[in-house]
Amino acid sequence: MKSKKTNQILDKIKRLKKERRAVILAHNYQTSDVQDIADFTGDSLELSRKAAETKAKVIVFCGVNFMAETASILSPDKKVIIPDNQAGCTLADMITADKLKTLKSRHPEAVVVSYVNTTAEVKAESDICCTSSNSIQVVNSIPRDKEIIFVPDKNLCRFTQEETSRKLICWQGWCSTPHTNISAEDIKKSKQAHPDAKVMVHPECNPEVIDLADEVVSTSGMLRFAKRSKATEFIVGTEIGMLYSLKKANPKKEFYPANDKAICPTMKLITLEKVYQALKDLVYIVKVEESIRQRAKKAIDRMLEVS
């Protein structure tokens, strides 16, 4: 049962959302109460599409900075706000526009595939973006005689390389939390405790974890897999916020974290109180400089066309 204070905040958010003509988007890694107040929850690709399609005047993005930037890139006429401007992404920080330019100078004919977990400046230096749910489609859309640079996640790059039989130039970035916190030993222990459970893991996980999985998928892919599978138990190798989304969509099935410490601290910075303050004061505004926005949008548009 929600507390009186929580109910009051929820009422204020609903009222302000209507007044501001706002839509609330929340990533699957957000806390359960933030997911519940959102109009739409999903992975990066799904939320990017919702941002592009919405007729709302204000987009409240409950995620991390690069996601809010993507919404701003796709919807420059809308006010995009993030409830906590310290909600960054260590993976996105591992590649900069200058570093990518240097790599491109060494491979001038290469096509640059940039994971959406990157800054707007990096997207602007890219030919096409991808997400963990469509990286295979994106790489397969590129002519086979073309060299491909893939930034910044080395594990997603390796997984995509194996699934497409393409040789990719992989940037050596990684998700410091939560995905590299999940070990093969975690999976083995979870399987011992739940021998009938199917193992589904995110492609940002380490190779030895991916090798033990029944299914390697994005967060939206996990939802689809859990729904269609005849299994009733699942071990989940991604950020623990995903378990709430899975259980909500599949109340008769059981979900176990591969590692209950697989937590993204910056995803958890956003709270109901901060969502309320964001709507009340219209902070923190995320706006991408126009020349960067236009170039980054081309890469995102190409991804959306492929997907």
Superfamily grouping for domain 92-174+291-306: NadA-like (3.40.50.10800)
Q: How confident is the model at residue 4 (pLDDT cuts 50, 70, 90)?
A: confident
b/e per residue 95-111 (b: at least 16 CB within 10 A): bbbebbeebbeeeeebb
On the question of pLDDT at 176 being above 90, the answer is: no
Average predicted confidence (pLDDT) for the chain: 96
On the question of pLDDT at 3 being above 80, the answer is: yes
Q: What is the pLDDT of residue 1?
A: 67
CB-based burial of residue 2 (10 Å sphere; 0-12 exposed, 13-18 middle, 19+ buried)? exposed
In one-letter notation, the amino acid at residue 299 is A
Does domain 179-257 fall under CATH 1.10.3720.10? My reply is: no
Superfamily grouping for domain 4-87+267-288: NadA-like (3.40.50.10800)
Q: What is the pLDDT of residue 52?
A: 85
For the residues 245-255, what does the mean pLDDT come to? 98
On the question of pLDDT at 216 being above 80, the answer is: yes
pLDDT tens by residue, 20-60 = 999 999 999 999 999 999 999 998 878 878 988 999 999 99
Would you state the structure tokens that stand for residue 253, as one six-digit string? 């099935």
Comparing 48 with 273, which gets the higher pLDDT? 273
Can you say how many angstroms the Cα of residue 94 is from the centroid of all Cα atoms in its chain? 16
Angle, nearest 10°, between helix axes 65-74 and 290-306? Answer: 90
Q: How confident is the model at residue 283 (pLDDT cuts 50, 70, 90)?
A: very high
Q: How confident is the model at residue 211 (pLDDT cuts 50, 70, 90)?
A: very high
Q: What is the pLDDT of residue 159?
A: 98
Domain boundaries, the chain: 4-87+267-288, 92-174+291-306, 179-257
Whether residue 195 is preceded by a cis peptide bond, meaning omega within 30 degrees of 0, is no
On the question of pLDDT at 134 being above 70, the answer is: yes
Q: Quick check: do 4-87+267-288 and 92-174+291-306 share a fold?
A: yes
On the question of pLDDT at 63 being above 90, the answer is: yes
On the question of pLDDT at 72 being above 70, the answer is: yes
On the question of pLDDT at 251 being above 70, the answer is: yes
pLDDT tens by residue, 83-112 = 999 999 999 999 999 999 999 999 999 999
Q: How confident is the model at residue 199 (pLDDT cuts 50, 70, 90)?
A: very high
pLDDT tens by residue, 138-169 = 999 999 999 999 999 999 999 999 999 999 99
Q: What is the pLDDT of residue 79?
A: 96
Single out the residue of 77, 63, 68, 25 nearest to residue 47, CA to CA.
25
Q: Are 293 and 90 in contact (CB under 8 A)?
A: no
